[in-house]
Structure 1
Amino acid sequence: MPNSSRVPAPASARSKRPDGDATRQQLLDVAGQVFAERGYADATSKEICARAGVNLAAVNYHFGSRDQLYEAVLVEAHHHLLKLEEMQAVASADTDPRAKLRTILTGIVHRAAAPDAHWGSRVVIRELLAPTAFAPTLVHKAIAPKAQVMLGIVTQILGLPPDSPGLQRGLFFMMSPCLALLMAPRAMRENLFPSLSGDLDSLADDMLRYADAGLAALAAQYSSNTR
């Protein structure tokens, strides 16, 4: 005879529903597209749910609120530009640090300049140009962990301590062209600087040459300051 007194397993112990995960991802992708088109202020849960083909309550069910959905979109957007797991794998490889840097820069260039760029690029651009109250989420949850990986690689190249101004400035200056490439309108790149839309591997190589010269100058300057 079955034991009718057995207590059901708590929700945390139950397996996740595949259809629930799919709905959450669908909401995240559609929300990213809507936020990319309209910005945080003008995007509504109603439009997001309508375009995703789900009930209006789905936003609160899967994310807690529209604000928390936007935070998740910010993190997902940056993930499409720079994947932390891939960066960590590159950084831990037993290769020359400049080769590691080239691999990461090439990935950024392809994601930022590709003609079919993911909506994540536009979401990040919007947040950088007109920061919302959720900018700290983008910084702490998405940018900071990846910056630490990059600092480790640049440390290997420059041979400077992590707290050196030369190291920190070198990383910032090195990433600035990537940011400019991300923010430059496609029409400007194609009409004024068509070479920015051509061979993207070659573009990444030139960015590395440009960065390498600046890093070498900083290494010479700040190494001499520590003697």
Structure 2
Amino acid sequence: MESKRTTKKNTARESREDGNATKARLIETAGQLIAKQGYEKTTSKEICQLSKVNLAAINYHFGSREGLYRAVLHHVHQQLLGTEELDVLQDGHKTPAERLDYFLDVLTEMVQHEENWAIRVWIREIISPSPLAEQVVREESVPVKLNLMLNLLHEYTGLPMQSTQLHGCLACMLAPFVWYLLLNSQETANLRKIVPIRYEDKDLPQQFKAFVLGGLERFRQTY
């Protein structure tokens, strides 16, 4: 027979697990809705209805609708460049070329994954940054992550860390993937109909990778 203390511990653990599951469901639902229609058009009522939870759940778990969106943005940054990717960028057992190839494959897979709502939310933040963007960028140590990318490019190309050209290489490496996401976002659907460019969606990210590697190779040969 279980003691009262054991029963209370089990009940508390189950309650925490239920609470964590509810929080994760709210973040997932809010993220999907915001990726589709934007933060301003996404209501707490809609999120709770789709999550099948009480309307008070958002305030209970996140303090406010804004608090929930902050949690969504934190989730976005973890999805875009999480612990696994960061570990590979710093893996001394792999050559710079191997780490760069891996990172470009991650970017390629990321932009091709149509169900990846985190990417879509991130694109919305690029187009129209929310008041929370700056705070989340600091809390997620985005400058530190960018510095890891710069260090990888430094090792690959030989460009000095303080070189403005190295920073330009980082911008050029990320630019085609961001462009692809912008061009394929719902916000630019009508624009795509009149843009006189025809390409295969499935092929383009791999072409981006080839161009990025070709451009970096030019700097690599120079230095």
Asked if 1:194 is matched to 2:199, the reply is yes
* Aligned-partner SS, 1:42: coil
Instruction: Quickly say closer, same or farther: Cα 1:117–1:78, change in 2 above 3 A.
Output: farther
* Aligned-partner SS, 2:209: helix
Aligned residue in 1 for 2:4: none
Q: CA deviation at 1:75?
A: 2.3
Query: Are the equivalent residues in 2 in contact too, given 1:84–1:146 (CA < 8 A)?
Result: no
Aligned residue in 2 for 1:67: 66
**Amino acid paired to 2:65:** R
Aligned residue in 2 for 1:119: 117
> Aligned partners of 2:131, 2:161: CA distance in 1, in Å?
30
Aligned residue in 2 for 1:212: 213
* Aligned-partner SS, 2:38: helix
Q: CA deviation at 1:44?
A: 1.5
Asked if 1:161 is matched to 2:160, the reply is yes
Instruction: Quickly say closer, same or farther: Cα 1:109–1:117, change in 2 above 3 A.
Output: farther
* Aligned-partner SS, 2:40: helix
Aligned residue in 2 for 1:7: none
Number of equivalences = 204
> Aligned partners of 1:198, 1:209: CA distance in 2, in Å?
14
Post-superposition CA distance 1:51-107 (Å, at most 9, x none): 111111211221121112111112212333x23212222123312212211211111
Q: CA deviation at 1:218?
A: 4.3
Q: CA deviation at 1:170?
A: 0.9
Query: Are the equivalent residues in 1 in contact too, given 2:90–2:148 (CA < 8 A)?
Result: no
Unaligned runs of 5+ in 1: 1-13
> Aligned partners of 1:97, 1:131: CA distance in 2, in Å?
33
* Aligned-partner SS, 1:41: coil
* Aligned-partner SS, 2:55: coil
Unaligned runs of 5+ in 2: 1-11
Post-superposition CA distance 1:147-185 (Å, at most 9, x none): 122112111112233222111111111110111122122
> Aligned partners of 2:141, 2:183: CA distance in 1, in Å?
22
Aligned residue in 2 for 1:98: 97
Q: CA deviation at 1:208?
A: 3.3
**Amino acid paired to 1:70:** Y
Query: TM-score with structure 2 length normalisation?
Result: 0.79
| Percentage of matched positions with identical amino acids | 34
**Amino acid paired to 2:202:** G
Instruction: Quickly say closer, same or farther: Cα 1:182–1:145, change in 2 above 3 A.
Output: farther
Query: Are the equivalent residues in 2 in contact too, given 1:32–1:119 (CA < 8 A)?
Result: yes
Query: Are the equivalent residues in 1 in contact too, given 2:159–2:219 (CA < 8 A)?
Result: no
Query: Are the equivalent residues in 2 in contact too, given 1:78–1:142 (CA < 8 A)?
Result: no
